[in-house]
Amino acid sequence: MLTRNDTFGWIRGESLLLEDVDEPWSTDFGAVDYIKLAEAFGFQTARITSEDDIETALTAAINHQGASFIEMMVPSQDKIVPFVPNWVRSAKQKPALFRIGQVTGWL
């Protein structure tokens, strides 16, 4: 089973909050048809796009004698998980935890 949102959601959210940008770049993936790829390898496939599809897809996969591939579309993290305001304020004020060639800590 692949849970798919086609984005680096956490990185996208951090960019929106910390970098003061309207639209982050390089956080969205190109369109890959994983269903077609799995079918090319002989998998039985299903795509879940709503809650109504879950039971049918899982039942078919469990009952199938061969390999199954299920793709479940999910929203990006930055759309469903609110960023913690205190963490954002803290991240803006504190030095980086990691630097090239050394590790520093926050006190």
Report CA Rg, the chain: 20
Q: Please return the burial class of 61, using the count of CB atoms within 10 Å of its CB with bins 0-12, 13-18 and 19+.
A: middle
- In angstroms, the CA 8 to CA 24 distance is 10
Q: Give just the sign of the alpha carbon dihedral 81, 34, 15, 93.
A: positive
CATH of 2-103, one of 3.20.20.70, 3.30.360.10, 1.10.10.10, 3.40.50.970: 3.40.50.970
Q: Which amino acid is at 52?
A: D
Does the pLDDT value for residue 107 go beyond 50?
A: no
Compute the distance between CA of residue 44 and CA of residue 78 in angstroms, rounded to an integer: 32
Angle value at C-alpha 28, between 24 and 29, nearest 5 degrees: 155
**What does the pLDDT average to over 59-81?**
88
Q: What is the pTM of this model?
A: 0.63
pLDDT digits (tens, 9 = 90+) for 8-48: 777 777 776 666 667 767 777 778 899 999 999 999 999 99
Residue type, 88: V
